[in-house]
Amino acid sequence: MASLDRHLDIQAHMPATEKDGNSKDSTASALEVDIPEVRFQDQATQQQSWLGYLWDTADLGPKERRLLFKVDASLLVFASLGYFIKNLDQSNIQNAFFAGMEEDLTMYGNQLVHATSFWTADYVVGQVPINILLTRASPQIVIPTLELLWGFVTLATYSVRDVRSLYALRFFVGLFESGFYPGMQYILASWYTPRELGKRTTLFWASGSLGTMFSGFLQTAAYERLNGVNGIAGWRDKTYRHGKSACPATCQLIGM
């Protein structure tokens, strides 16, 4: 620091021309430093092989490929499994209605529509506060907690005895499920590059469609094979199993 002060003091007393010349010389000498050139290749402009169009990790180096495999095996698998279970729980009431729920709960008129509306209304309203919560708290805690809660509420549908109780349960199912899809999209976008995100978002979305499709198949199997076993209606048995299915996916993310 002392030598720097002295240098500045000498420059202050120099003539303008001499000071400017020395300043230019010192600046030029300071810039004559060998700096290694580092070039980054943008994934968006990187050429893809035919295999890379099918799955983008084929064109990456071994270390990056290994890292993406770990992220896919943990985050993408949980997201897809959770969305599959969510759509199972979301659509089971329509299938259960035609598999004995209508008679057991003496439902009539538009009561099925009302039960669905309770779910839809809270699903829409709950998305905003839950996704704000995701920016304030750890998603590793928020998302599994939501899934565990909607699993418990779905499990409680097993013992429902009247339509009013069904309305209340569907209200809370909609609330707890509301943050999963937009929350997982936010998390996926935080982990993947734009080039990697498209394929994984497609797989994530497709898992939900599979859940809706399998819900009808499972309800048919439960009605044909489990209806009346141990005195339990088939739709109640299916609802019980759907509620329990949320626990493994929840434990997976908590352990990540």
> What is the per-residue pLDDT for 165?
92
For 59-94, the pLDDT digits (tens) are 778 888 899 999 999 899 989 988 998 888 888 888
The rounded distance, in Å, linking the Cα atoms of 73 and 75 is 6
Any idea where the domains of the chain sit in the sequence? 85-254
The rounded distance, in Å, linking the Cα atoms of 117 and 216 is 20
Average per-residue pLDDT in the chain? 77
Q: What is the pTM of this model?
A: 0.71
pLDDT band, very low/low/confident/very high, at 103 (cuts 50, 70, 90) = confident
For 30-43, the pLDDT digits (tens) are 444 454 444 444 55
**Count of alpha carbons within 13 angstroms of residue 93, beta-carbon side:** 28
Report CA torsion sign: 224, 229, 234, 240. Answer: negative
Q: How much is the average pLDDT of 128-149? A: 87
Asked whether 179 and 130 are in contact (CB, 8 A), the reply is yes
Q: Which residue has the higher pLDDT, 56 or 10?
A: 56
DSSP H helix total and E strand total for the chain:
12, 0
For 110-120, the pLDDT digits (tens) are 899 999 999 99
Tell me, what amino acid is at 250? T
The rounded distance, in Å, linking the Cα atoms of 134 and 42 is 30
Exposure class string for 229-255: b at 16+ Cβ within 10 A, else e: eeeebbbbbbbbbbbebbbebbeebee
Q: Which residue has the higher pLDDT, 184 or 235?
A: 184
DSSP calls for 142-192 = HHHHHHHHHHHHHHHGGG--SHHHHHHHHHHHHHHHTTHHHHHHHHHHHHS
User: Domain 85-254 belongs to what architecture?
Assistant: Up-down Bundle (1.20)
> What is the per-residue pLDDT for 24?
44
DSSP assignment, residue 105? T
pLDDT band, very low/low/confident/very high, at 50 (cuts 50, 70, 90) = low
> What is the per-residue pLDDT for 9?
47
